[in-house]
């Protein structure tokens, strides 16, 4: 069984797949409590689904791109069984994970978007960057949610210390309501680094809708 908060179709708002139609599968539960979390409703709210039930819900929407997110998808038991079923049906799979759990079992099967939680989150001490870097592919992404200049400077330290630009794709994402898009863009330009500004365009397209988009 899987504990799932919501399943719905949308235009994907972030990652290298931004702008494409995707089916979102949002799992319930997360081991972290980031100070600026925008999906707190997924901490506890959700319903139980069988593997067949999840596959039936996904099939209703007729798209073949699926994002597994949360909450924290890697905290689910038997997630690999769901991924194997999706792969068998020829779905393109993206998994968003917090960076606080091992990715070793999934890295070769999916496109991974792994966060690194910076100081403003209050969760930086939970990150497993060194362990997980052994499994990330060069096509995978590490995303740094940035709330302020201190966060950005810390992200640059991590990128340089771990030589991340040689290993994965790098994005920085503004925490909505904490830092202006333009301010973060200027910080990226001043860094002289080949890192991507990751805007959550679903929040721009549907600014009044906090869930289900």
Each residue's pLDDT tens digit, 145-190: 999 999 999 999 999 999 999 999 999 999 988 999 999 999 999 9
User: Which stretches of the chain drop beneath a pLDDT of 70?
Assistant: 107, 212-213
pLDDT of residue 106: 82
Is the CA virtual torsion 74, 42, 86, 116 positive or negative? Answer: negative
The full set of domains in the chain, from first to last, is: 2-205 (3.20.20.70)
What are residue 72's phi and psi, to 5 degrees?
A: -135, 105
Which residues, 6 or more positions from 186, have their beta carbon under 8 angstroms from its beta carbon? Answer: none
pLDDT of residue 91: 96
Which residues, 6 or more positions from 143, have their beta carbon under 8 angstroms from its beta carbon? Answer: 14, 15, 113, 114, 115, 116, 171, 172, 173, 198
Mean pLDDT for the chain overall: 94
pLDDT of residue 25: 98
pLDDT of residue 213: 67
- Distance (Å, rounded) from C-alpha 103 to C-alpha 86? 18
pLDDT of residue 203: 83
Tell me the whole-structure pTM to 2 decimals: 0.94
pLDDT of residue 212: 67
């Amino acid at each position: 069984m899987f504990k799932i908060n919501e399943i719905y179709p949308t235009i994907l708002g972030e990652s290298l797949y931004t702008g494409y139609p995707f089916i979102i599968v949002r799992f319930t539960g997360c081991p972290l409590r980031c100070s600026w979390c925008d999906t707190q409703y997924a901490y506890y709210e959700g319903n139980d689904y069988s593997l067949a039930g999840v596959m039936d819900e996904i099939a209703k929407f007729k798209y073949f791109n699926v994002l597994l997110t949360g909450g924290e998808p890697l905290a689910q038991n038997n997630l690999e069984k769901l991924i194997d079923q999706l792969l068998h049906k020829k779905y393109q799979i993206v998994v968003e994970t917090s960076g606080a759990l091992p990715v070793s079992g999934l890295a070769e099967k999916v496109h991974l978007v792994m966060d690194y939680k910076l100081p403003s989150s209050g969760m930086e001490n939970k990150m497993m960057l060194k362990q997980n870097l052994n499994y990330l592919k060069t096509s995978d992404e590490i995303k740094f949610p940035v709330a302020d200049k201190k966060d950005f400077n810390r992200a640059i330290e991590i990128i340089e210390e771990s030589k991340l630009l040689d290993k994965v794709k790098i994005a920085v994402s503004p925490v909505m309501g904490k830092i202006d898009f333009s301010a973060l863009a200027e910080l990226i330009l001043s860094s002289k680094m080949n890192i991507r500004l990751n805007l959550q365009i679903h929040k721009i397209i549907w600014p009044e809708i906090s869930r289900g988009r």
